[in-house]
């Protein structure tokens, strides 16, 4: 690591204490930008990196709400407006008890590069709350969402900041949030994405992140003359992203043998397909936090407290959450012959883990490239809202597919140009960075 990058990283750590995930995301990006910074002194003298690691704005607020028994609860709400150089802030909202400022800052930071890669005009942001949707009634979720939006509405807008879903925020929550925004502003606009189909949503948005991840993996496999036909795949998580990925893998002739949750993983030798894919939606909607129910329902093996990376597979798609593939998991995957790891989740692999993959020269894609299909389709939803014209699912899927192929090719050509052929981390970080950095130079000191 150069002295410049090392000093900057130390400063980020000192100024953002107790935010390990943010440090991790920044370290991964800074390390991979060394080559560009050396070649372009203008970025260094304009302090582009120093500006990029500092959010443009951080909003933190109290979210009081009442449960069905009349008891009052107080949660914390956040919106990180990270970078608006290439478009309005754009990124999801996460409702999960593990949410902290540092986790949302890491996600907002990643989002800046991801959104740049989509080629659509979107800046980066992220938000959420430590609210735990588990075990809450629909009415409780509604009251929470209404209270959350009662503060957030003054900071967002279709040309300012456009939130969407993430862990714990799906169609139901977006509906409650949108309703409250509309009521407070008296405006029907595309201020959120992931909306219902009858009120401004885009077809394919629910499937988009998972589909996009598989399209990306398909392109990676192609570079080695392979495809999904007959490939055995490990998927983690059982939520929105995992669900879309499983469907697309099945369509392409692959077989998914694992799903996971906070309680452990299931091993389904015959493949997660047909009614079992629909059952994933039930699991997600139950908010029980358990994947064991799948094993009970379909009489397959369940491994409590374990992650699925010890299973012998050809392709691994981590789709649950950050830091779920550690160094030892990465070694296990490589040892068992897995030759493609494509991230559906954000930063599911630790830095030590991804170095195992790159050293072993297997295909490895970082989430900011491979899971960009979700936000890209959010961008397409924004376009449809602006035109006031919806597209067919074939039209959206075709555009999604093209965008994912283009991101893939950009990663490959950028990695090649910077002397690291086949390194998707280098390709994604540099390509995502250049567009934002140049826009920041153009716009002066802001």
Residues that bind ligand NDP (CB under 6 A): 92, 165-168, 209, 237-241, 261-262, 284, 289, 319-321, 344-346, 371, 374
CA neighbours closer than 13 Å in the CB half-sphere of residue 327: 4
* Residue 344 vs residues 85, 101, 174, 325, 432: alpha-carbon distances, Å: 26, 22, 21, 12, 18
Phi-psi domain of 362 (left: phi exceeds 0; alpha: psi -120 through 50; beta: other): beta
The strand pairing partners of 161, in sequence order, are 89, 157
Shortest Å, Cβ 264 to ligand 2IT: 25
Residue whose tokens read 């609860």 = 73
Instruction: Give the shortest CB-19-to-ligand 2IT separation in angstroms.
Output: 18
Smallest distance from ligand NDP to CB 244, Å: 8
102 binds, among ligand NDP, ligand 2IT, none (CB under 5 to 8 A by kind): none
Nearest to 230 by CA among 210, 193, 255: 255
Q: Which is nearer to ligand NDP, 118 or 209 (CB)?
A: 209
Q: How far is the CB of 192 from ligand 2IT (least distance, A)?
A: 9
User: Which partner from the list ligand NDP, ligand 2IT, none does 321 bind, CB cut-off 5 to 8 Å by kind?
Assistant: ligand NDP
91 binds, options ligand NDP, ligand 2IT, none, Cβ within 5 to 8 A by partner type: ligand 2IT
For the chain, how many helices (H) and strands (E)? 18, 12
Nearer to ligand 2IT, 339 or 378 (CB): 378
Choose the one of ligand 2IT, ligand NDP, none that binds residue 190, judging by a C-beta under 5 to 8 angstroms depending on kind.
Answer: none
273 touches 267 (CB < 8 A): no
The DSSP secondary-structure symbol of 268 reads -
Residues 283-296: b if buried by 16+ CB within 10 A, e if exposed = bbeeeeebbbbbbe
Name the residue nearer to ligand 2IT (CB basis): 345 or 440. 345
- Residues 66, 33: contact at Cβ < 8 Å? no
Contact footprint for ligand 2IT (CB under 6 A):
90-92, 111, 114, 164, 166, 193, 346, 374-375, 378
- Residue whose CB is less far from ligand NDP, 180 or 209: 209
Write down the catalytic residue from 126, 136, 195, 231: 126
Binding partner of 318, given ligand 2IT, ligand NDP, none, CB within 5-8 angstroms per partner class: none
Q: Which is nearer to ligand NDP, 21 or 314 (CB)?
A: 21
- Partner touching 319 among ligand 2IT, ligand NDP, none, CB below 5 to 8 Å by kind: ligand NDP
Active site residue 126: yes
At its nearest, how many Å lie between ligand 2IT and the CB of residue 61? Answer: 20
Distance CA 57, CA 89 (A): 11
CB of 90 to ligand 2IT, least distance (A): 5
Residue 90 vs 105, nearer CB to ligand 2IT: 90
Q: Strand ranges (DSSP E) for 67-130? A: 72-83, 89-95, 124-129
Sheet of 72-83, strand order: 57-66, 72-83, 124-129, 89-95, 161-164
Q: CA separation (Å) from 149 to 136, 188, 344, 393?
A: 18, 15, 28, 30
Please give the positions annotated as active site. 126
């Amino acid at each position: 690591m150069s002295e410049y990058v090392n000093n900057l990283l130390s400063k980020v750590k000192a100024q953002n204490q107790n935010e390990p995930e943010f440090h991790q995301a920044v370290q991964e990006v800074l390390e991979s930008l060394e080559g560009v910074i050396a070649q372009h002194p203008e970025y260094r003298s304009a302090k582009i990196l120093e500006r990029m690691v500092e959010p443009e704005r951080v909003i933190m607020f109290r979210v009081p709400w009442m449960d069905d028994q009349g008891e009052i609860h107080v949660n914390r709400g956040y919106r990180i407006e990270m970078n608006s150089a290439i478009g309005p802030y754009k990124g999801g909202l996460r409702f999960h008890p593990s949410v902290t400022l540092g986790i949302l800052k890491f996600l907002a930071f990643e989002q800046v590069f991801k959104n740049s890669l989509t080629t659509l005009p979107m800046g980066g942001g992220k938000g959420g709350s430590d609210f735990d949707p588990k075990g809450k009634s629909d009415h409780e979720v509604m009251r929470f969402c209404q209270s959350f939006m009662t503060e957030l509405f003054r900071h967002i807008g279709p040309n300012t900041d456009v939130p969407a879903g993430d862990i714990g925020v799906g169609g139901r929550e977006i509906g409650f949030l949108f309703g409250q925004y509309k009521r407070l502003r008296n405006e029907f606009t595309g201020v959120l994405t992931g909306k219902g189909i009858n009120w401004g949503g885009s077809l394919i948005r629910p499937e988009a992140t998972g589909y996009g991840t598989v399209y990306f993996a398909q392109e990676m496999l192609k570079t080695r003359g392979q495809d999904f036909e007959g490939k055995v795949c490990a998927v983690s998580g059982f939520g929105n992203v995992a669900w879309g990925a499983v469907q697309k893998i099945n369509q392409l002739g692959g077989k998914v043998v694992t799903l996971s949750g906070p309680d452990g993983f299931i091993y389904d030798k015959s493949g997660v397909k047909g009614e079992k894919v629909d059952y994933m939606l039930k699991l997600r909607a139950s908010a029980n936090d358990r994947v064991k129910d799948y094993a009970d329902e379909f009489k397959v093996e369940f491994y409590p407290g374990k992650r699925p990376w010890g299973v012998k597979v050809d392709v691994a798609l981590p789709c649950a959450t950050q830091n779920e593939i550690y160094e030892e998991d990465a070694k296990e995957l490589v040892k068992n012959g897995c030759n493609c790891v494509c991230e559906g989740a954000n930063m599911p692999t630790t830095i030590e883990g991804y170095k195992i993959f790159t050293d072993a020269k297997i295909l490895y894609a970082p989430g900011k490239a491979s899971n960009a299909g979700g936000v890209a389709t959010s961008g397409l939803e924004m376009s449809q809202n602006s035109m006031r014209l919806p597209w067919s699912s074939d039209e959206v899927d075709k555009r999604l597919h093209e965008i994912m192929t283009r991101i893939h090719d950009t990663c490959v050509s950028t990695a090649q140009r910077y002397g690291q052929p086949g390194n998707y981390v280098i390709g994604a970080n540099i390509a995502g960075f250049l567009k934002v950095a140049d826009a920041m130079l153009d716009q002066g000191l802001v």
